[in-house]
Amino acid sequence: MRNCHVVMTRLVGSATRLLAGLILAGALGLSSSTFGQSAGQAQMIHYDAATKVFRLDGADVSYVLGINEQSEVQTLYWGKRLADSDTLPAAISSPAISSFDMALNTTPHEFVGWGGGLYVEPDLKVSFPDGNRDLILKYVSHQIHNDGLAITMKDQLRDVYVTLDYRMDKETGILRRSAVIENRTGDPFTIEQVASGTWNLPRGTDYRLRYLTGRWAGEWNVQEQPVHPGKVVLESRRGTTGAQNNPWFAIDDNRSNDQDQGNVWFGALGWSGSWQISVEQDQVQQVRVTGGPNAFDFAYRLGNGEKLETPAFYGGFSDHGVGDASRLLHRFEVGSILPGHPSPRLRPVLYNSWEATTFDVNEAGQMALAEKAASIGVERFVMDDGWFGGRKNDHAGLGDWYVNPKKFPNGLKPFIDKVHSLGMEFGLWVEPEMVNPDSDLYREHPDWVLNFPGRPRTEARNQLVLNLARPDVRAYVFGFLDKLLTENDIAFLKWDYNRNWSEPGWPAAPNGAQQNVYVDFTRNFYSILAELRQKHPQVEIESCSGGGSRVDLGVMQYTDEVWPSDNTDAFDRILIQNGFTYAYSPAVMMAWVTDSPNWVNQRSASLEYRFLVAMQGSLGIGADLNKWTADDFDKAKQMVAEYKTIRETVQRGQLYRLITPEHDSPYSVTESVSPDGKKAVAFAFLHSSKELYPYPRIQLRGLDRGARYEISAFAGKLAPATPKTASGAFWMQHGIDVLLRGDFQAAAFTLTRVD
Ligand code: GLA
């Protein structure tokens, strides 16, 4: 089962094997199929042979597509679930509006090749060895199987096959789409652009697009703008996911700022290489969202008999606003994406040494920190950068993955044993895809990095990118990690990646197909993670890339948590975490309590404030414990113990962003309701009070109106008139006043169902 989850697989060999297994339901004229149906809102796939209409239902969502009279695959409906008795008429291609806009351009395609005069974004563009670049895909067959639908299309003249894969999640209505491109032409051809598919929204002109932007130490900014005629391209050209944009979008038709109102169509791409999502309002006011690997500098040579599977593009719908869209994504990530789904392990409370020691790690120093961390209830101790090779700073050592003998003369074992004896798991930092030119590895293998021969090799943080697409580099990286995990009792790797690509050449690429690097690098990255996890099932992994530059639904299939940002300033972090949760679950959002004043802004904040910010995600501590006072340890012990009681609610609950810190709001309030609805926890933050105004009243959401809940504040104060117990209706309608005044103040309280 090696690489079983690897997307973008290139399968060499008989292409007919897969097709032989397909039930050519269209050709056989089967009428209607229902799969996986159980009581209530189960997943269902229907096919009506008379109209050639497919309907996929999951949770509260229906997705309907059809084969039109041109044998094109056309979107018919995507939105709130239709009644079971509803049927949609056959697809008919949209009329041309003039000789300038033929029907091909006005029809909402699920997946369209570039050819025949297509001007909107294509899903596939190829170039054949004879110079022909025309591709017109037509439906040939389909198969309905246990967890989805596969529709096969073929170029009208050449043996280029595309199989569209659809899997509907019955819990959330999130649809997974991908496409497999198969070459049976007898010769290689080049894929110049490929998408996983196109999402077509109902025609409309009053949409708003939300997306996420950022940079190092400033990730996860929520942007919003009206969807206008023209195209917005969200992308990374960096070789990896990047923070400049994150591969997530949400489009709503709601003009209010209420997080829980309006229709929202949202999606996320599962790909950790260069990617693009284009949001296009076309010439007939249709909104199309197309996503896949970035077309910029892309070329993939597909040999005869080979297949290329695109990344998964996930899409969902909610009629309860972007807040609910986030909750659906969170549930989907925990239930269907993360390792160990549908019940991944709750995140242990972690300590990380980076901000305390930077590169200056050694056995005695780390042991001292470990003792202090254990005393406050930490469950996992992670040693960060600096433990290997000749690593004293960021100028040398990356690539030489042996334990530094000066810093750890007895190897890692005595230290790891010590961590275990303190009742904690042991974790370690690695940055496997990188090399410092000042390293034995680079001196031995200068050809192992991405490069264009004879051109300068641009360094960033004094490092170069190893070309993971090369089989020898893949073998080296897997080999050293496997050895490290075999020889040491390691429960966790923080897998870092601290620069983006430059000079993305692969001089030794097979058949001269250098640009295959855009696919093969990421594919090998995933396959190493998958193979390591299979061989070392006890090991958990965090995806870090100088903070949040490699967070997406692709890498999250192989990693248990992510590091959203190197910016650990608690106030900045409120905004960072707010943006993060639009797309990703608090269950994977590592959040550390670090020192005050914080290195980022030199801002001071109380230890309690810093804890409360971090407790909204997966709690970690990254402070220099050697500088803590006895009072700090007492406070930390209390907060860690409190966190353990709310951890499940925070990591598995339904998150409501009651007041977002966006638009420079001085307030921010989040609430999480446990999956069984019996508990809720809320966090309220104040930047600075002004002119004696009280803190806004907090009206909770997601409670049972008729049930009774007891309130208890574990930080800050509630207004004296607050009842001890009241109904869900009271807490949601009347609301709660907290007494917050001053600068960088915070309060937190729980509600527990008592009836
Ligand atoms: C990156 C990470 C940090 C830390 C350093 C170590 O910047 O994001 O958390 O691990 O590398 O060099």
User: Annotated catalytic, 624?
Assistant: no
Domain of 723: which CATH number?
2.60.40.1180
Whether residue 8 lies inside any domain: the answer is no
What are the distances in angstroms from CA 727 to CA 21, 568, 665, 696? 57, 37, 29, 20
298 in the same domain as 240: yes
566 CA: nearest ligand 1 atom: 8
388 in the same domain as 318: no
Q: Whose CA is nearest to atom 7 of ligand 1?
A: 546
Q: How confident is the model at residue 205 (pLDDT cuts 50, 70, 90)?
A: confident
- Cα 648 to middle of ligand 1, angstroms: 28
Does residue 283 or residue 747 have the better pLDDT?
Answer: 747
- Domain end position, chosen among 280, 306, 336: 336
Angle 601-607-612 from CA coordinates, rounded to 5°: 95
Q: How confident is the model at residue 41 (pLDDT cuts 50, 70, 90)?
A: very low
Q: Domain range spanning residue 721?
A: 661-753
- Cα 239 to middle of ligand 1, angstroms: 19
pLDDT of residue 11: 33
Counted residue by residue, the chain has a size of 755
372 in the same domain as 319: no
- Cα 563 to middle of ligand 1, angstroms: 10
Domain of 144: which CATH number?
2.70.98.60
* Cα(402)–Cα(650) distance, integer angstroms: 38
Q: Which of 566, 569, 572, 595 is catalytic?
A: 566
- Domain end position, chosen among 309, 336, 363: 336
Q: How confident is the model at residue 146 (pLDDT cuts 50, 70, 90)?
A: confident
Task: Of 8, 195, 191, give the one whose Cα is nearest residue 111.
Answer: 195
Q: Which of 57, 60, 101, 496 is catalytic?
A: 496
Whether residue 695 lies inside any domain: the answer is yes
Whether residue 565 lies inside any domain: the answer is yes
Look at the chain and report how many structural domains it folds into.
Answer: 3
Whether residue 7 lies inside any domain: the answer is no
Quick check: 5 pLDDT over 80? no
Q: Whose CA is nearest to atom 12 of ligand 1?
A: 385
pLDDT of residue 256: 83
545 CA: nearest ligand 1 atom: 8
636 in the same domain as 678: no
Mean pLDDT of the chain: 94
Q: For 579-592, how does the pLDDT look when each residue is reduced to its tens digit (9 = 90+)? A: 999 999 999 999 99
- Domain end position, chosen among 288, 303, 336: 336
pLDDT of residue 147: 75
Mean pLDDT score, 195-224: 96
Q: What is the DSSP letter of 368?
A: H
Whether residue 181 lies inside any domain: the answer is yes
- Calculate the dihedral angle through the C-alpha atoms of 298, 301, 302, 307, rounding to the nearest 10 degrees: -40
User: Annotated catalytic, 134?
Assistant: no
Place of tokens 């990047």: 242
Token pair for residue 419? 């961590």
Whether residue 39 lies inside any domain: the answer is yes
Quick check: 660 pLDDT over 50? yes
Quick check: 556 pLDDT over 90? yes
Domain of 529: which CATH number?
3.20.20.70
Q: How confident is the model at residue 204 (pLDDT cuts 50, 70, 90)?
A: confident
Burial string for 600-612 (b: 16+ CB within 10 Å, else e) reads beeeebebbbbbb
pLDDT of residue 20: 28
Q: Which of 496, 551, 573 has most ligand 1 atoms within 8 Å of CB, for mutation?
A: 496
Q: Whose CA is nearest to atom 1 of ligand 1?
A: 546
Residues with CB under 6 A from ligand 1: 354, 384-385, 429, 496, 498, 544, 546-547, 563, 566
Whether residue 344 lies inside any domain: the answer is no
Whether residue 139 lies inside any domain: the answer is yes
